[in-house]
Chains A and B, each alone.
Chain A
Amino acid sequence: MGSTVKLFKTAANGKLAPSDIESNFDDLHPILSSEYAVVEASRCLYCFDAPCLNACPTEINIPKFIKQIYSGDADGAATTILSENILGGTCARACPTEELCEEVCVVTQTEGAPVKIGQLQRFAVEGLIEKGEHPFRRAPETGRRFAVVGAGPAGLAFAHRFTMLGNSVVIFEKREKPGGLNEYGLAEYKMAGDFAQREVAFLLQIGGIEMRYGKALGENIALDQLKTEFDGVFIGVGLGDTRKLPASGVTLPGVEDAVEFIDRLRQAPAKADVSIGANVVVIGGGNTAIDAAIQARCLGAQNVTIAYRRGAASMSATAWEQQLAAANGVNFVHWASPHEFVGKERIEAVVFNRMELVGGALKETGEKMTIPADCVFLAIGQAMSHVGLDGLTLDGGKISVNEQYQTSVDGIYAGGDCTATGVDLTVQAVEDGKQAAICADALLRKRSANVAE
């Protein structure tokens, strides 16, 4: 995401003015001006068989869209992006570009920094969304209809491509808003300006998509019933659950899943109304831990510590995310695994086991360490919920799919984090949804052609 690091407002006494708190949740990177976008686009070398394109899970034609920006056709650039990745707006904001397209940008070798591909993508896509125009049209109506379970990136991408191909879709969503983790799981400053909702509204302009909220698999909808009612089903429910720590005291008030904290904060109309402790401990090593820790600082927490059981190099949070956290006063304690959560009526401290690697295996050193805490966020990873998935074959706890994104049950497709298709990233979920829609549509067309013969 580039080398500039946003510095949030923090206060030594932990008392931030409400206006400071609100401004802390503003955009992490302001959108590029059109002048800067063209100058930045001029840095792109338009590589042959471009490494960035090959590094993008959705294979956006990056050199092409950058050249379109350069030539003054930003809407054309947006169309190039969105034709491969309909959630290219969120991906531009939230993708770990420093580990994907920008990591392999050859310009880094001569100029020390890659072309700001993510920010150029955002410039193009948001410019088009702002205009309120939708660049795609639906193919002639096929009369076929699918049920999509989950209005996250995978489900939305499936719905968009599937309807674009002439079919229609009903999306069943457990929550009251669409977007999945885009709406509920990313730090506010990454998705500022209610972007997740604006993006979904843009996506739905394709037509042929009906939304039904408050519908959860295994609660008030069932796969069997959907399968009967529709021509097929696409499951994009995500992981749905979090891993649990077996440590004692983990249920004390003040100990919360980081995803719940992020979710609460995202949905809070006034961020300053979300209370935070003075001493916050976040347990985990991924981007969720970073998002929780930085946002705790944004709310005014004095001491925020990320505790991780291994060394910095093993953290799944990208180097850029770690840098952003460190620059904003988040402390990192490595080689510390939670042993016990201590407190009378609510959390007061966390006791850690110090860890080390012995012959490649993670072992306790026997040493203990205590960090005072009045707020603890657990970010030790999500877990797959199997509620309502009876009858589907699983693979490593996730829904098993073949190369056509078909599950073990005919007519039921799946993609995104709930399947083992690749990395758990928005961009991967979008690719899964898009490809599954193409496969499902092709199969339906083939079958109806066979029937016609």
Chain B
Amino acid sequence: MANLQSNFVGIKSPNPFWLASAPPTDKEYNVVRAFRAGWGGVVWKTLGEDPPVVNVNGPRYGAVYSGDRRLIGFNNIELISDRPLDVNLREIKAVKRDWPDRAVVVSLMVPCEEEAWKRVLPRVEETGADGIELNFGCPHGMSERGMGSAVGQVPEYIEMVTRWCKQHTRMPVIVKLTPNITDIRYPARAAKAGGADAVSMINTINSIVSVDLDQMAPNPTVGGKGTHGGYCGPAVRPIALNMVAEVARDGDMAGLPISGIGGVETWRDAAEFLALGAGNVQVCTAAMVYGFRIIEEMQEGLGRWMDEKGYNSIDDVVGRAVPHVTDWSHLNLNYIAKAVIDQEACIKCGRCYIACEDTSHQAITATKDGARHFEVLSEECVGCNLCVSVCPVENCITMEQLTEGVDPRTKAPISSEHLEWTAHPNNPMRRAAE
């Protein structure tokens, strides 16, 4: 099988799957179970200053389900580790001693004062941990106290704290970014400017997961009231993938390593993060839903896929898709595709028809010679992919590229030349052809 060894900013682990800083990594007991199961590394649940924070004693989590009651979104209002600092440090030291081949990174969150960081860093270093991750992302509770995402939302603070950390420790510094901003590149650039060795993203997204319509309060409801919490799980993956890609292809970042986080549940999710430029992935929700054993399918699946594709190492995969991520304005407007329905595969549910008829371009028939029959009218089809998206049969509707002749819809000849918006005649700001 392909070599899954990972080397992320000099931190080595037998595979690129780390557990993210979260409840699963709060104690030695859990972390040892994770390592026994095969996880490559952990980011220990965020440590803060003593006295420890206090968590709510009611529900901390809320969930969003699909129709078949699979958990697709998850949120929490839990704070950072609520255990004394020295207990955590002692356990971290023991774990690192017992599991030298695994990555043990410590997540930190202390007040935005240099002295506070100066105090905690040597104590972490003493444990033998492989690195630190700065929690600038937690969007609930801690942010009300000027930490977590309150720092992550101000690029100047990110840069400042990162610089302190680089000054006061020899450990690699990973800066964990909050997605609760408008453009992820600004905080990422700030981390780089402060000297960060890597960024990790995304932390959780501010959310109300659902409303209890009897109590008339957000879930999770604690004594009749609820608050916003951090959203994660498969539902946030598309947002995380985009943010990873935005940072990976940003010229100013100059290839700063990225640890990809956000709804990784299967090997395929991990492969997608790697392809978009993440050097490894961190997982939390999937482990919390299914337990640590999911690492087996993740490792085996990733290895099998890499073998099939001829990728020998993780580095072979990292960033493969980045050159193909572009801005809309560079998409080829001369590319023409039309939907085609495979009549053999079609089960005649008519969902493509009603979607196209009601909400799009009236490009699908409902009947032919009086019988139920769904077929694309090329002269109306704009190639939008809606029918493909709603069809319940995989590969029944496909998008077929037209490469010659005329587009039956526009009657314009099909050109093989690349024509993007920047050069399009309709664009008043177009650049002259070079």
Chain A residues within 8 Å of B, Cβ to Cβ: 35, 38-39, 41-42, 45-51, 70, 106-107, 109-110
Contact = CB atoms under 8 A, between A and B. Distances in A.
Interface string B65-80: 0111100000000000
A45 B392 contact: yes
B67 A35 contact: no
A409 to B, nearest CB: 39
Contacts of A50: 350
5 tightest A-B contacts by CB?
A: A48-B350, A42-B67, A48-B354, A109-B347, A106-B347
Contacts of B366: 48-49
B351 A45 contact: yes
B225 interface: no
6 contacts: A35-B69, A38-B69, A39-B68, A106-B348, A109-B347, A110-B392
B39 interface: no
B330 interface: no
B267 interface: no
Contacts of B353: 48
Contacts of B386: none
A301 B392 CA distance: 48
Interface string B327-361: 00000000000000000000111110110000000
A41 B347 contact: no
A47 B349 contact: yes
Contacts of A42: 66-68
Contact of B349 (A39, A41, A106): A106
B431 interface: no
Interface string B352-376: 0110000000000010000010000
Judged by DSSP, the binding face of B is: loop
B350 A39 contact: no
Contacts of A47: 348-351
Contacts of B393: 110
Interface residues of B, number: 15
A39 B354 contact: no
Question: Which of A35, A42, A50 is the most central at the interface, judged by chain B CB atoms within 10 Å of its CB?
Answer: A42
A50 B351 CA distance: 10
A46 B354 CA distance: 10
Interface in B30-70: 66-69
B163 to A, nearest CB: 52
A70 B69 contact: no
A110 B351 CA distance: 15
Nearest to A42: B67
Nearest to B358: A48
A39 B69 contact: yes
Contacts of A110: 347, 392-393
Contact of B67 (A38, A49, A51): A38
Contacts of B354: 48
B349 A70 contact: no
Contacts of B68: 38-39, 42
A70 B349 CA distance: 18
Nearest to B391: A45
Contacts of A38: 67-69
A46 B67 CA distance: 14
A49 B393 CA distance: 18
Contact of A49 (B66, B69, B347, B372): B372
Given A110-B392, A110-B393, A48 B351 contact: yes
A223 to B, nearest CB: 44
Question: Which of B67, B69, B353, B354 is the most central at the interface, judged by chain A CB atoms within 10 Å of its CB?
Answer: B67
Contacts of B67: 38-39, 41-42, 70
A110 B393 CA distance: 7
B318 to A, nearest CB: 37
Interface in B86-102: none
Interface in B369-394: 372, 392-393
B62 to A, nearest CB: 17
Contacts of A109: 347
Interface in B266-307: none
A70 B67 CA distance: 7
Interface in B108-122: none
Contacts of B347: 106-107, 109-110
A428 to B, nearest CB: 24
Interface in B386-430: 392-393
A105 to B, nearest CB: 10
B357 to A, nearest CB: 8
